[in-house]
């Protein structure tokens, strides 16, 4: 009866209740959706870091991580791999040779880390090979030629391996993409012109296009002008095992684009056998073994197991290799909490305000109820239930709206390409897929109920303090 009466009381003043419910809905939706975006971005970042860059567990010789000394190779890597392969949860492994060096093109040079890899095994551990930009080649699929390098898009731009070209093809495809003729006319004087870098091309475009034109079509123009010189080469120089400067010309096998500009800029992949020959390392000498697990959360357990079996090696789970990734995950949890506290506090004030108004308006009725025999516990319970219903209806509708929108955008993703540069500098892609766990939904629902209960206490106490005789006299 109290339930039924409380529920009916919620709808006594429909407009007021709907306004409160709408504000709760919007508040919850705003919070949950923001969190879903943040969470999605971080998950994608962690995902791509683990799948493209880190793997789940790394094994090196102690000290290698500090100075990348070429001599610090893993003794008997085969026996380590055999032992690791027997552990439950281990899916694949790949050995790497890692040296630091310089990448040089005709115009520029920059410091890089050169990773010697075994392409077939690498594909079992990492999915970087899927990030090859179409038209730039492949992930070491052409067997024949020696000395090939698979490099990042940023490095390709830096070394002018990627260029920006205005030609008939480019202008035609721009027209096909709906770029107005007025802009094409402004571009056509550059026909046949090559720009060595994105920067110089953009600078030139800025001088001919208006700010609006640039904002609207700049990205499309840059994308269409992008061109890759096939059979491009670069030189890698480094120190061999005897600390003698050495190097070789490498053909570009392919260019990858991971949306993490730092990684793209610094990591060059070459075949293990090429690197071994150039550095003088023996064919079974590797600096690092990288393991992929079927569950990334098992990394700690597998690491400690391998660590005890091979005390002479340094075995690290991904959370230790890149503590900032773990920190990002933790920080997002902290953000959740702060965000939700702010939203729930606003919700609480809204409900306190409404319920105080309710108690004030119904003074006479509450007096009557006490007079005819409704005890304090029941009056308190009724007011509390009304608050809980109000917050629950708002909360649930907020969650449903969030769930629906997250569901829709999780499939398509949200395009933040206007902020791509900034995001990619942090290793976050500009196409974010919002994501939220069901435990979070359950937690928020519980929190809403708790907030409803807490915010009803004060108005309900106010109702309890009413003197029935006096309350009955009010008009």
Partner 1 sequence: MKVLEIKDVHKVYNSSEVKVHAVNGITLGFEGGEFAAIVGPSGSGKTTLLNMIGGLDTPTEGEILVDNTNLATLKSSKLIDFRMRNIGFVFQSYNLIPVLTAKENVEFIMNLQKWDKNKRDARTMELLKAVGLGDRVNSRPSKLSGGQQQRVAVARALASKPKFVLADEPTANLDSKSTETLLDIMEHLNREEGITFIFSTHDARVVKKARRVITVEDGKVISDEHKN
Piece of 221-229, 237-245, 372-380, 388-396 that binds partner 1 (CB under 8 A): 372-380
Site for partner 1 in 441-470 (CB under 8 A): 468-469
Distance in Å, CB of 470 to partner 1, minimum: 9
Q: Which stretch binds partner 1 (CB under 8 A): 114-122, 261-269, 327-335, 364-372?
A: 364-372
DSSP tag of 132: B
Please state the closest distance from residue 1 (CB atom) to partner 1, in A: 4
Size of the site for partner 1 (CB under 8 A): 22
Q: For residues 467 and 446, give the distance between their C-alpha atoms in angstroms, rounded to a whole number.
A: 34
Binding mask 6-45 for partner 1 (x = CB under 8 A): --xx-xx---------------------------------
**Cβ of residue 26: shortest distance to partner 1, in angstroms?**
27
Considering the rule CB under 8 A, would residue 376 count as an interface residue with partner 1? Answer: yes
- Are 113 and 100 in contact, with CB atoms under 8 Å apart? yes
C-alpha distances out from residue 185 to 118, 159, 175, 198, 262, Å:
49, 30, 11, 21, 37
Alpha carbon distance 315, 306 (integer Å): 7
Tell me if 120 contacts partner 1 by CB under 8 A.
no
Direct distance between the N- and C-terminal alpha carbons of the chain, in angstroms, rounded to an integer = 26
For partner 1, the closer of residues 309 and 376 by Cβ is 376
What's the CA gap between 293 and 390, in Å, rounded? Answer: 47
Per-residue CA distances from 82 to 87, 90, 125, 290 (Å): 9, 11, 16, 13
Answer for which of 245, 375, 415, 417 binds partner 1 (CB under 8 A) is 375
* Distance in Å, CB of 22 to partner 1, minimum: 21
Considering only residues 108, 378, 431, 462, which one is a binding residue for partner 1 as defined by CB under 8 A? Answer: 378
Please name every residue paired with 93 in a beta bridge, in sequence order, or none if there are none: 291
Supply 48's token pair.
Answer: 């791509």
Smallest gap from Cβ 372 to partner 1, in A, equals 5
Q: Which of 371, 404, 442, 461 binds partner 1 (CB under 8 A)?
A: 371
Per the CB < 8 A criterion, the answer to whether 333 and 443 are in contact is no
Residue 363 found at the interface with partner 1 (CB under 8 A): no
What secondary structure does DSSP assign to 103-117, as a single string? EE-SS-EEEEEEEEE
Site membership for partner 1, residue 401 (CB under 8 A):
no
CA angle 175, 178, 182 (to 5 degrees): 70
**Beta pairing class for 148-152 and 245-256:** parallel
CA distance linking residue 73 with residue 162, whole number of Å: 35
> Quick one: 47 or 361, whose CB is closer to partner 1?
361
Q: Which of residues 228-267 bind partner 1 (CB under 8 A)?
A: none
Gap between the Cα atoms of 382 and 444, Å rounded:
23
Which listed residue (181, 244, 373, 411) binds partner 1 by CB under 8 A? 373
Binding-site member from 108, 193, 202, 364 for partner 1 (CB under 8 A): 364
Residues 62, 450: Cα–Cα separation, whole Å = 51
- By beta-carbon proximity to partner 1, the closer residue of 294 and 365 is 365
Kindly give, in sequence order, each residue whose CB lies less than 8 Å from that of residue 138, ignoring residues fewer than 6 positions away: 132, 253, 254
What is the C-alpha separation between 166 and 221, in angstroms, rounded?
9
Could you say whether residue 414 binds partner 1 (CB under 8 A)? no
> Minimum distance between the CB of residue 465 and partner 1, rounded to whole angstroms?
12
The smaller minimum CB distance to partner 1, of residues 1 and 334, is found at: 1
Interface residues with partner 1 (CB under 8 A) are 1, 4-5, 8-9, 11-12, 364-365, 368-376, 378, 468-469, 472
């Amino acid at each position: 009866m109290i339930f039924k009466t409380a529920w009916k009381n919620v709808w006594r003043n429909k407009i007021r209740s709907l306004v409160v419910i709408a504000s709760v809905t919007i508040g919850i939706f705003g919070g949950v959706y923001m969190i879903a975006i943040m969470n999605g971005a971080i998950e994608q970042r962690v995902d791509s870091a683990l799948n493209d860059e880190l793997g789940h567990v790394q094994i090196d010789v102690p000290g290698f991580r500090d100075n990348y000394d070429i001599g610090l190779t893993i003794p008997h890597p085969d026996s380590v791999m055999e032992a690791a392969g027997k552990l439950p949860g281990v899916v694949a492994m790949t050995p790497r040779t890692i040296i630091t060096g310089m990448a040089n093109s005709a115009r520029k040079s920059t410091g890089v880390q050169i990773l010697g890899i075994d392409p077939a095994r690498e594909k079992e551990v990492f999915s970087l090979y899927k990030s090859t930009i179409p038209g730039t080649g492949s992930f070491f699929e052409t067997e024949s030629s020696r000395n090939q390098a698979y490099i990042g898009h940023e490095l390709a731009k830096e070394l002018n391996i990627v260029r920006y070209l205005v030609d008939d093809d480019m202008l035609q495809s721009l027209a096909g993409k709906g770029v107005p003729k007025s802009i094409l006319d402004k571009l056509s004087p550059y026909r046949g012109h090559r720009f060595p870098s994105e920067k110089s091309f953009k600078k030139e475009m800025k001088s001919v296009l208006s700010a609006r034109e640039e904002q609207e079509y700049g990205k499309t123009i840059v994308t269409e002008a992008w061109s890759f010189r096939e059979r491009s080469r670069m030189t890698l120089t480094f120190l061999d095992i005897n600390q003698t400067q050495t190097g070789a010309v490498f053909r570009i096998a392919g260019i990858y684009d991971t949306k993490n500009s730092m990684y793209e800029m610094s990591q060059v992949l070459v075949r293990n056998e090429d690197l071994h020959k150039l550095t003088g390392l023996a064919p079974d000498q590797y600096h690092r073994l990288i393991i992929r697990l079927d569950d990334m959360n098992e990394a700690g357990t597998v690491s400690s197991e391998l660590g005890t079996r091979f005390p002479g090696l340094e075995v690290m789970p991904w959370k230790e290799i890149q503590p900032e990734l773990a920190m990002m995950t933790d920080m997002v949890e902290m953000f959740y909490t702060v965000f939700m506290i702010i939203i729930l506090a606003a919700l609480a004030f809204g409900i306190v305000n409404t319920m105080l108004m309710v108690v004030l308006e119904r003074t006479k009725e509450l007096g009557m109820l006490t007079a005819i025999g409704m005890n304090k516990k029941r009056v308190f319970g009724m007011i509390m239930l009304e608050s809980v219903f109000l917050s629950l209806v708002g909360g649930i509708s907020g969650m449903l709206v969030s769930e629906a929108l997250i569901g829709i955008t999780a499939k398509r993703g949200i395009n933040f390409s206007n902020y791509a540069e900034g995001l990619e500098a942090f290793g976050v892609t500009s196409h974010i897929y919002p994501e939220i766990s069901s435990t979070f939904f359950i937690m928020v629902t519980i929190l809403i109920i708790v907030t409803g209960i807490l915010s009803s206490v004060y108005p309900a106490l106010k109702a309890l303090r009413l003197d029935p005789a006096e309350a009955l006299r009010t008009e």
